[in-house]
Chains A and B, each alone.
Chain A
Amino acid sequence: MTSFKFSPPFLTGANRVTLQMVQVIIALIPAIIALVFYFGYGVLIQIILALVTALLTEAAMLKLRNRPLKPFLSDGSAAVTAVLLAVAIPPLSPWWLTVLGVSFALIFAKHLYGGLGYNPFNPAMIGYVLLLISFPLEMTTWLPVSSLASQVPDFKMAAELIFTGQWQGQGVDALSGATPLDQMKTQIGLMRSPEYVSSQPLFGMFGGLGWEWINIWFAIGGIWLLYRRVISWHVPVALLGSLFLISTVVWIVAPQVSGSPLFHLFSGGTMLGAFFIATDPVSGSTTLKGRLVFGAGAGLLIYLIRIWGGYPDAVAFSVIIMNMLVPLIDYYTQPRVYGAR
């Protein structure tokens, strides 16, 4: 026995922060493969770019804050932020967009609040919202899924587009199109019915074409996290449940307002948000009842913003707004303590 603790308990479980973060990244792998399949290698380049930026930013901030590098660089939290932001950014976005988003997330949303464990907001979503508000054009130039695209960028082409903005004279915008959520919103704005909109080639069986599979793979990764007890079921179930509930009610009462409940569950960032973003322990609610409230609130806001807000998708805004309410939620959802009346 080499080390000895001097205060009880003298036993310890195997659970570690790093292990949890690594498992989150592992759970993202199926959906990342799906993203690459539908949108090309740009996704991978963005992830690598984000990871490098995250590690450099994290190291620089730790240095500036006079904190030990090794335990915090190896905890995996910066990598999780980087990957989550990278998969949310359009695959062929210019390199500076990713670098700016990731470094802003880590500097302003994480380290200026005290680093790991102290951030009141989900750093990846703060980075995303900064980019969305500041660079709405770049942030909405999504590629069409590969089966609809006139040209699917290979690795070299994607790298050139990301780092120079040009490939053989054409820019990213020449390749991009509206996302299904985008399309649904604008077409309904033009008084077209949701059924008509979802019969267009951009749409699949029940969600956006390709997007529904990406969402399914995010969900499968999330269910694996549930099985590994890295996350609890409360947030995903509450979020998806409330989103499903309100979209069903509106679908029944006023079908012309928006897409079907399934469309909302399997489009955009729904599953990513439900299993990977809203379940962030640091910025989320910690009580079980609180997590139900948190998830339900986020699900409701996602729908409200998607339908009546200014942006096609709303996962980031919803999670951040719910983050603000966490102290309040936590205070009023304390469990009944043993022996209390």
Chain B
Amino acid sequence: MRRPVSDFPGGLHLPGHKKRSTQTPIRKTPLSKQLILPLQQHIGEAAMPIVAVGDTVLKGQRIARADGHVSVCLHAPSSGTITAIEERPIPHPSGLSAPCIILETDGEETWIERHPIRDFLQHSAHELRQLIRDAGIVGLGGAGFPSFIKLNPGIHHHVDTLLINGAECEPYITCDAMLMRERAEGVLDGIEIMRHALSARDVLIAIEDNKPEAITAMQLALGSRQSLADADIVVVPTRYPTGGEKQLIQVVTGKEVPSHGLPIDIGVVCHNPATAYAIGRAVIHGEPLISRIVTVTGTDVTHAGNFETLFGTPIKALLEYCQTRRQPDEPFIQGGPMMGYSLAGDELPVTKTANCILVGVDEAAQTSEPLPCIRCGDCASVCPASLLPQQLYWHARAKEFDQTRDYKLFDCIECGCCDYVCPSKIPLVSYFRFAKTEIMNQERERNKADHARERYESRLARQERERLEKEQRQAQRKAALAASKKAAAAKADRQEAPVPPAKKPDIAKEGQ
């Protein structure tokens, strides 16, 4: 067993509350009558529907194709009929609606013909990536970045380490832990495929030491697998946010991902165990990504646990299945209590990024008015990125965005540690998000303005060119005229009126 070689600054020891949802094995959520499938369940471009209303589809059938480079396909989680393609509310912090495919299930669960690939080593990395993209696989840790892109290191990078992030450091969430406990073999299948696609030298599986069962299960599975004999399980200390990609890399390798860089810049590729499992299912069993394991837990959930849930299942059905004491309009949290976001309506579907539904947390954050910052520096002492949150806060509040950049706003990973310890209860992370959004908006505006200016300047240049050409033509015409005058000197010439000068562009109209 490899020891962690390093540590990261700051962080918090939070109560885990993990027992609540690990008392029962993973269960399957019953099939819903209706599945709501947002076309965008990943970072990047939304998928393009390739079915029409009225079509009947089979379980696992592709119903939307990837559109653009950063995009993946979408599949029918069950067999049935497409009844609508329309805007529906989707799980999003701002409660917005987006295009969804609505599938009325027939209860038959009839699969498409599957094409399992046992000997994936015979396939090229490119083929495997294509397959993973076609299977609709995205990072299941909660971010939803298309996995095939992270499996493509490019010719300029060499992958030293494939790091499996089984830290799962947020309180309450246990879906990865339960997956590793119950389906360790499946996770290893995926790890083998990823390693092959990346030509990675080392494989490290990092698990926090508060999950002894998951560690044992993974060790057991690893011990009986010759092809991964050199892979290591790294037991990391339980501390939030160890599962932050950058923090985990720092703990396990002692190296830091460069600011504005990617883990691949230091030869590391990081994937989540659930993503690995999904890749194994897709390649070895020919099953596209149509379900995931969701932790349903919280102080207001009677039968907390982990549920294998088809995408599109209304969260309401899931919550009813676990029995909650939630009032109809009471918000719940998707994700963890530190970095998740609150949702109100429960008609929202379970999507690829829904790792946890949390109803009620202990010591829930108070909504009381924050007191002024007293510059105690507690926030800086827990920041895992070594930022100075209170300086960022002052400048974000004053909308001094240049200064927020001086203080490295964009290195903030929004883990919420500063917010948690602030004695004045200032919602620091909200201020940082506000500042980031504002800066990005300003940048977009500036780009737009730059674009408009370029257009305006090229128009000026064109007008100038046209004017010169016109003058040239006139001069030629005059010369020709003069020549003809000479030829017919007797004839009076009155036909040539002076040409008015080229009209100047109206700057007021063109501006912005």
Residues of A within 8 A of B (CB): 1, 3-17, 19-20, 68, 71-72, 75, 77, 114-118, 232, 281-282, 284, 286-288, 291, 330, 334-341
Q: List 5 A-B contacts (CB under 8 A).
A: A3-B365, A11-B420, A286-B391, A288-B381, A335-B387
Stretch of B110-118, B189-197, B337-345 on the interface side: B337-345
Chain A residues positioned under 8 Å from B335 (CB to CB): 8
Q: Which residues in window 121-175 of B have CB below 8 A to A?
A: 171
**Contacts A116-B372, A338-B411 given; does A10 touch B388 at CB 8 Å:** no
Q: Chain A nearest CB: distance from B253 CB in Å?
A: 13
Q: Is residue B374 within 8 Å, beta carbon to beta carbon, of the partner chain?
A: yes
Residues of B within 8 A of A (CB): 8-9, 14, 93, 171, 246, 250, 256-261, 299-300, 330-331, 333, 335, 337-342, 358, 360-369, 371-378, 380-381, 384-388, 390-391, 407-408, 411, 414, 416, 419-425, 427, 429-430, 433
Do A71 and B369 touch across chains, with their CB atoms under 8 A apart?
yes
In the bound complex, what is the Cα–Cα distance between A8 and B333 (angstroms)? 9
Q: Chain B nearest CB: distance from A111 CB in Å?
A: 12
Checking B250, B375, B378, B429 against A338 with a beta-carbon cut-off of 8 angstroms, the contacting residue is B250
Do A337 and B416 touch across chains, with their CB atoms under 8 A apart?
no
Q: Which label, helix, strand, loop or mixed, suits the secondary structure of the A interface?
A: loop
Checking B9, B364, B421 against A1 with a beta-carbon cut-off of 8 angstroms, the contacting residue is B364
Checking A6, A11, A12, A232 against B377 with a beta-carbon cut-off of 8 angstroms, the contacting residue is A232
Chain B residues positioned under 8 Å from A20 (CB to CB): 374, 376, 423
Do B261 and A339 touch across chains, with their CB atoms under 8 A apart?
yes
A72's nearest neighbour on chain B, judged by CB, is B371
Chain A residues positioned under 8 Å from B331 (CB to CB): 4, 6
Q: Which label, helix, strand, loop or mixed, suits the secondary structure of the B interface?
A: loop
Do A15 and B422 touch across chains, with their CB atoms under 8 A apart?
yes
Chain A residues positioned under 8 Å from B381 (CB to CB): 232, 288
Chain B residues positioned under 8 Å from A281 (CB to CB): 374-377
Chain A residues positioned under 8 Å from B358 (CB to CB): 10
B390's nearest neighbour on chain A, judged by CB, is A286
Do B369 and A284 touch across chains, with their CB atoms under 8 A apart?
no
Do A9 and B375 touch across chains, with their CB atoms under 8 A apart?
no
Chain A residues positioned under 8 Å from B377 (CB to CB): 232, 281, 286-288, 291
B246's nearest neighbour on chain A, judged by CB, is A338
**Contacts A15-B421, A17-B423 given; does A3 touch B364 at CB 8 Å:** yes
Do B374 and A13 touch across chains, with their CB atoms under 8 A apart?
no
Chain B residues positioned under 8 Å from A291 (CB to CB): 377
B360's nearest neighbour on chain A, judged by CB, is A1
B265's nearest neighbour on chain A, judged by CB, is A339
In the bound complex, what is the Cα–Cα distance between A282 and B423 (angstroms)? 13
Chain A residues positioned under 8 Å from B258 (CB to CB): 339, 341
Chain B residues positioned under 8 Å from A7 (CB to CB): 93, 341-342, 427, 429-430, 433
Do B372 and A337 touch across chains, with their CB atoms under 8 A apart?
no
Checking A1, A6, A19, A284 against B300 with a beta-carbon cut-off of 8 angstroms, the contacting residue is A1
Chain A residues positioned under 8 Å from B429 (CB to CB): 7-9
Do A8 and B341 touch across chains, with their CB atoms under 8 A apart?
yes
Chain B residues positioned under 8 Å from A117 (CB to CB): 371-375, 424
Do A334 and B421 touch across chains, with their CB atoms under 8 A apart?
no
A284's nearest neighbour on chain B, judged by CB, is B375
**Contacts A10-B364, A338-B250 given; does A17 touch B371 at CB 8 Å:** yes
Do A8 and B387 touch across chains, with their CB atoms under 8 A apart?
no
**Contacts A9-B420, A10-B361 given; does A339 touch B375 at CB 8 Å:** no
B332's nearest neighbour on chain A, judged by CB, is A4
In the bound complex, what is the Cα–Cα distance between A168 and B378 (angstroms)? 54
Known pairs A4-B367, A11-B337, A339-B411; list 14 more (Cβ under 8 Å). Answer: A4-B330, A5-B366, A8-B335, A10-B337, A10-B340, A12-B363, A12-B419, A19-B423, A117-B375, A281-B377, A286-B375, A288-B381, A338-B259, A339-B261
Q: Chain A nearest CB: distance from B29 CB in Å?
A: 24
In the bound complex, what is the Cα–Cα distance between A228 and B375 (angstroms)? 18
Do A10 and B333 touch across chains, with their CB atoms under 8 A apart?
yes
Q: Chain B nearest CB: distance from A163 CB in Å?
A: 35
User: Among the interface residues B376, B381, B407, which one has the most CB atoms of the partner chain A within 10 A?
Assistant: B376
